Chain A
Amino acid sequence: MENESPNKPEAVCPSKLELAEVKEKLARAKSGPQYWRSLEELAQTDGFYDMLHREFPRQASVWPEGSSRRDFLKLMSASMALAGLSACVKQPLEPIVPYVRQPDEIVLGKPLFFASAMPFGAYATPVLVESHEGRPTKIEGNPEHPAGLGGSDVFAQASILDMYDPDRSQTITYRGEMSTWSGFAAALKGPLNSQKAVQGSGLRILSRPVSSPTMASLMDAVQAAYPDSKWVQYEPVNRDNVRTGSQMAFGQFVETRYNLEKAAIILSLDGDFLSSGFPGFLYYARTFAARRNPDLGERMSRFYSIESTPTNTGGKADHRLPVRASEVEQLARAVAAGLGAGGGASAKPEQQKFVAALAKDLQAHKGAAVVIPGDNQPPAVHALAHAMNSALGAVGNTVIYTDTVEATPQIQTAALKELVDEMNAGKVDLLIILGSNPVYDAPADFAFAKAMDEVPLRVQYSSYQDETYDHVHWHVNGTHYLEEWGDCRAFDGTVTITQPLVAPLYNAKSPYEFIFSLIGSSETAGYDIVRKYWQGQMKGGDFDAAWRKAVHDGFVANTAFPAKSVSAKGSPTLSPAAGDKGGAPETEVMFRRDPMIYDGSRANNAWLQETPKPLINLCWDNAVLISPITAKKRGLVTGDVVEIDVNGRKVKGPIWPQPGHPNDSITVFLGYGRTKGGRVADGVGFDGYQIRTSDAPWIANAKITKVGSGYGFAIPQGFQYIDYSDLPKGTEPLKNRHIIRKATLEDFMRNPNFAHEEEERVPPEMTLYYPYQYTELKWGMTIDMNSCIGCKTCIVACQAENNIPVVGKEQTMRGRQMQWLRVDVYYEGGTENPGVYYQPIPCQQCENAPCEVVCPVGATVHSTEGLNDMVYNRCVGTRYCSNNCPYKVRRFNFLLWQDWTTPQYKMMRNPEVTIRSRGVMEKCTYCIQRIAHGRMTAEKENRSVRDGEVVTACQQACPAGAIVFGNLNDKDSRVAKIKAQQRNYSLLEDLNTRPRTTYMAVVQNPNPELEQSESS
């Protein structure tokens, strides 16, 4: 190791290397991928390579004394060799298979689509990656994937930004100093050999949960090579409760899968299954939406939600009961009792009615009912859910049990605890941390950092030089999933192949290659590792064809786990629920993964940071969510800063009164307060992990005391519903505006035209002008508010597709957010348990566009296809159009927000969308670039545009399939058919703007028995 010390001048610019030599080698070096891979051979010595890196400012370190002008010249030539390492994109060497939608060979200006998968936690999110001239620019859902059904989630959409993140770790370091792979390999050889000697008893590997079959095989290989070594899997937002619960119920780990298409009654026990990150979210969103279609009549499903922290899932419920997380179990038991599935607790008096009606309803739908518990609920609740599901005959119908997706499931917290103890006991000689960041996110009581400092040699493989980086000797920079070969299982077990779109930007090793290097003597490319594994699996038949198909489709056909029959060990014995423990605590704090930045691993993603959280509409922050009532009781107002005290551990956070939040409890989103997360993540929000301990990872008792006030939140939705204080008395902003139109299923079936009862539509003939005729193409969009689950995926998709800049917290607070698409949230009823409605609002593309008439330079005009086009380079920025837009969908570049300089971003942008600069108005264009593609293809093939040929970014991304786009002149198009339905209505009809974007009214399916009490 010490011979690696880069401070020796000869190591930095070795004398044996002459300028001429470099030049010659450079000349010899072939261009293209080969060239980049051969960079190290070109440089020949680590010292030289090391020196090259000093050209990068972030790594620039002190110049060695010995450096002369000659060295400088060498450096210059060298940097010429490297020029573009940060600017060029390299195709991977191995044959990757383009998606069939596009021709195999790259045609300039024609994007290619590749199927791949984003590993998220243990689960794969199937994706299609759009690639322009070898640069991945956009993530889309993979329509052919059984577990994806074409949708995608915010994390997948935003992951493209992760790859191009300039803050990513770009080099291998030793004690913070630049080093190289060969240096690392050499340095580790010794320790590994000595571990071999002791059966690896001192070797510990800490990784995130693994579902990848290939990685699993590597795990076994490691185990074989180092029998006594331990591989610990841990993620802060883990599913230990699920596993313990299934053990309680069945004595073994099982994966639970729900079939919402068959579910007439859905009961969620704090189960947030409609939010990005929940295993199977894409599948559930689509199937849930399918069964919520009111045209099904009586078959439309009914959704009960017993929920603690308000989520967009609960917002979709027909009946939502907000209770403290600790009280869910009590209720669950009451319901279970009602179903004769053990339990045996009685609900609180005020909840009796609800529970009774619920139980009755569930009973009435045996075989078509399902109970979905939340990951954050104690094991007992899961056990109860299993019991109830079997009691309801759901198993095999709406509930399917399978093998676990994780290769080797663990009770992660326990495993991590064991590791910590061993480290403290000095039993660990070599700790390898694979992609996780325990120093930041391990339970506070573990004091992980202190413990790991006991380990003699600590290695981190990670994409970021994060909090953990400060405590390791070796840091190996990791790849992004778009840069590596791999595989991963979706929630249903379907094996999904990850194929890279580019060679690693920063010359990194994939995790497979990294682990392989620990056991395999010879270095092997990730491609070979994965391929070899599958060669072993796909026995018989033509492997190459099968492999090619798998890579092409993005998944290995029928690898989904079959249903598994498990026998419940009778009614589970239950731990006394928190609710029963004598007097309830003053305040209960509930820890939740953040809807946008998850557990903090996505914290450096500006798109996610700026996307308003579902339902809460807060961005660039986490907050102490509290119910308005409790807030009033405690004399707290929005922006007050409180200190949360969980037995001695303290953290300060700002108060956010959230309608629908249970009383006497607070919610803290994890993942914020990063200190070394990157330029975006650092200093945003507060760190909930500091008060999160292993014994109470989800629900803890806390005290809150006000310590400050006046904290400013960034809420892109300008108007805070919860705070009516500044509204004129007696005025109801929503009254008579008919923005949200809704009915119960009964009313809908009785009167399908309910959406048009009160409206004041201007009759089309009431005009002095001859309306324009749109003869050929006439684009239109419908958004089904009944399907929309408010997950905000469309917003991120739009941001990615249209090169929309990020403005940051301060500008958002000033009301200058740039997202073209927004999802409005409307609350109905009191703040205690309001009804919630989501309304995505893109440009309405009015036929009588008010914005166009007032533009003095004709920068926004109508196209022959009825689109309200923006001519960016004609705009002088008077902002009159925005003033006159009743929907306020226009966005203005008040300042220069586009990053014109960062090379990574230059690569990331969609080349088909103009990049707007300062002083220009912009807005949703219905993804006009995609329309143009569709039109051109149609014209080339001399036919009219097919329905579904043009798909807008938001439509493609929507996991619920709520958005439909197409040609209104084509009477058979889906959009035309939907617009013909009676539920279809347009916003602010009385203004006679004649929008092309219309909405499908909401139809809810409440339980008649409960309705009266609900309408309070």
Chain B
Amino acid sequence: MNQGPEEKTALLENPWPDEPPVLTPGQSYGSMTDQIADAVLTRPIGLGWLAGLAIGMGLLGILMAAITYLFLVGVGIWGINIPIGWGFAIINFVWWIGIGHAGTLISAILLLLKQSWRNSINRFAEAMTLFAVACAGMFPLLHMGRPWLGYWMFPYPSSMGVWPQFRSPLVWDVFAVSTYATISAVFWYVGLVPDFATMREKASNVYTKSVYGLLAMGWRGSARHWKRYEALYILLAGIATPLVLSVHTVVSFDFAISIVPGWHTTIFPPYFVAGAIYSGFAMVLVLAIPIRHYYGLQNMITMRHLQNSAKIMLATGLIVGYGYFFEAFMAFYSGSTYERFMMENRWLGPYAVFYWSLIFFNLVVPQVLWLPKIRANTKWLFLISLVILVGMWLERFIIIITSLTRDFLPSSWGHYVATRWDYAVFFGTIGLFSAAIFIFIRIMPAISIFEMRTLLPEAEVKAHES
């Protein structure tokens, strides 16, 4: 939004000739406003959208069924056992939380870095964050043996005078994830208020008008309001940045704090955060590419955005690769027989195929992103992003399952096989996520209108007279 003049001019004559602009020329406040708003207000409901929503809802139904059965019978319906006390539930939790990182990252960190190109993708990236965190947030509850007592995780004065055990990373999780969810939600809403005002004014139908009106809280674009608004927005970005980094760090503590070989590693926090951003941007592309295609937003979500995301994926992918390497290196360098065996077991043990496909998906495949050709090809980007998402899921599978199957005492080694209920819950959450996304793009401006306006050249106040 408040770009310095130098950047404005930069936007105008686009100093990176080899790269597409952030905004295609020939647009005005009005045109952009209409284009984004009409996608919600006047565009008729398409068959594609209905089909997509239907699939999402279908999977969501499966999720509901699976959860009902889970609560009736118990976590025994899953593949978990002793020694593998954590299975799909925690894998999915970490996976979703990771995906949930891109949104805040784009809106907060890129904002602080004055990366104006973020303006056209931050809105649905944040939405994506919320829905991903919603999916993730279910699992800590679902995986409990007695989920009806989940509130014991929170500090409240109970009749027994007992409290949560604050040394446990699981309690840290509760704090980190709930804080993250809250902050992301308010951040998202605050960003939406001015656009709700726009929708309020554009809406023809009186009901729509009043709903958007309520959400807009009577926003009227006053300079004073904008001033405070800006101040808050920057501050939110400022605190959301350490937050987003802390969340996956805390999630990685679930493993790093324990003594399980393959978990007890100091490299986990950075490596988990990088992985989170990695999968997060993959999900952003998986969503952005179809959306810009079906809603004809190529002029606002340009190749520039896709390519920058691809570059970030490439960078974080390399960090993750570094993590894989050092996991292995430390396993041998540490001289711990347990660590060493754990690594050998990952490479050659019963789950070796998962490990190597993870390396292939997360490390080998993304290297093609070095090629500008690939980065310029939406289909390739879409495909690679999907591969990365699968790879990141496998990474969590490897970390959690292989480490637990064979730890200290060979006598108590075990094996893990997921049941149909494990899969039901996993794909169920994908349903929840996609259903939410589909509904979101129908009822809210998928791109931040007011921030797009600031990208226009004329938005800048020319200082020809003093």
Binding site for B on A (CB under 8 A): 717-719, 726-731, 733-737, 739, 811, 814-816, 822, 824-826, 839, 841, 850, 853-858, 874-880, 882-884, 886-888, 890-896, 918-921, 987-988, 991
Contact = CB atoms under 8 A, between A and B. Distances in A.
Given A814-B81, A879-B85, A888-B82, A855 B74 contact: no
B69 interface: no
Contact of A735 (B337, B348, B350, B406): B337
Contact of A841 (B165, B174, B411): B411
B85 A883 contact: yes
Contacts of B321: none
A893 B145 contact: yes
Given A733-B406, A892-B145, A878 B82 contact: no
A651 B76 CA distance: 35
The dominant DSSP class at the B interface is loop
B407 interface: yes
Contact of A892 (B85, B168, B174, B411): B85
A988 B348 CA distance: 25
B409 A918 contact: no
Nearest to A818: B82
Most buried by B among A730, A857, A883, A896: A883
B19 interface: no
B167 interface: yes
Most buried by A among B84, B168, B347: B168
Contacts of A892: 82, 85, 145
B170 interface: yes
The dominant DSSP class at the A interface is loop
B294 to A, nearest CB: 42
B446 interface: no
Given A728-B344, A736-B337, A858-B164, A878 B414 contact: no
B415 A815 contact: yes
B347 to A, nearest CB: 7
Given A854-B169, A883-B85, A894-B74, A728 B164 contact: no
Interface in B410-427: 410-415
A893 B74 CA distance: 9
Nearest to A874: B162
B136 to A, nearest CB: 16
User: Lowest 10 CB-CB distances: which A-B pairs, in order?
Assistant: A877-B145, A919-B145, A879-B85, A894-B76, A815-B81, A895-B76, A888-B412, A728-B348, A824-B411, A856-B170
Interface string B65-98: 0000000011110011111111000000000000
A769 B349 CA distance: 38
Contacts of A919: 74-75, 144-146
Contact of A988 (B74, B169, B408, B413): B408
Interface stretch (B256-264, B269-277, B356-364): B256-264
17 contacts: A719-B411, A733-B406, A737-B337, A737-B408, A816-B81, A853-B167, A874-B162, A877-B145, A880-B85, A886-B407, A886-B409, A887-B412, A888-B409, A892-B82, A894-B81, A919-B74, A988-B408
B231 interface: no
Contact of A882 (B82, B174, B408): B82
* Band of interface residues on B: 35 or more
A879 B147 CA distance: 13
A885 B345 CA distance: 20
A731 B407 CA distance: 14
B404 interface: yes
B295 interface: no
B436 interface: no
B411 A816 contact: no
Nearest to B87: A879
B229 interface: no
A718 B83 contact: yes
B74 A728 contact: no
Contacts of B259: 850, 884, 886, 991
B167 A920 contact: no
B149 interface: yes
B345 A877 contact: no
A986 to B, nearest CB: 13
Interface string B38-81: 00000000000000000000000000000000000111100111
B83 to A, nearest CB: 5
Interface in B163-181: 163-165, 167-171, 174
B349 A875 contact: no
A457 B85 CA distance: 59
B258 A883 contact: yes
A839 B162 CA distance: 37
B153 interface: yes
Contacts of B86: 879-880, 883
B411 A826 contact: yes
A412 B404 CA distance: 54
B152 A857 contact: yes
Interface in B185-214: none
B143 interface: yes
B164 A856 contact: yes
Interface in B78-130: 79-86
Contacts of B149: 876
Most buried by A among B147, B153, B338: B338
Contacts of A884: 258-260
A854 B168 contact: yes
B150 interface: yes
B341 interface: yes
A736 B162 CA distance: 42
Nearest to A807: B76
A877 B85 CA distance: 10
A709 to B, nearest CB: 19
B402 to A, nearest CB: 11
Nearest to A858: B165
Contacts of B344: 728, 730-731
Given A719-B411, A856-B165, A876 B146 contact: yes
Nearest to A918: B74
A822 B411 contact: yes
Contacts of A717: 411-412
Interface string B375-414: 0000000000000000000000000000010111111111
Contacts of B167: 853-854
A924 to B, nearest CB: 14
Nearest to B140: A878
Contacts of B146: 875-877, 918-920
A896 B170 contact: no
Given A718-B415, A878-B143, 11 more contacts: A726-B350, A736-B337, A815-B81, A841-B409, A856-B165, A876-B149, A884-B259, A888-B407, A893-B74, A918-B74, A991-B259
Contacts of A987: 409
Contacts of A856: 153, 164-165, 168, 170-171, 174
Given A731-B345, A877-B144, A880-B170, A894 B165 contact: no
B171 A850 contact: no
A739 B165 CA distance: 32
B75 A883 contact: no
Contacts of A991: 259, 408
B81 A876 contact: no
Most buried by A among B149, B153, B404: B149
Interface string B320-362: 0000000000000000011001001101111000000000000
Given A728-B345, A919-B146, A882 B83 contact: yes
A974 to B, nearest CB: 27
Contact of B83 (A733, A854, A855, A883): A883
Contacts of B337: 735-737
Contacts of B169: 854
Nearest to B343: A728
Given A816-B81, A854-B168, A895-B73, A731 B260 contact: no
A891 B82 contact: yes
B76 A853 contact: no
A850 B409 contact: no
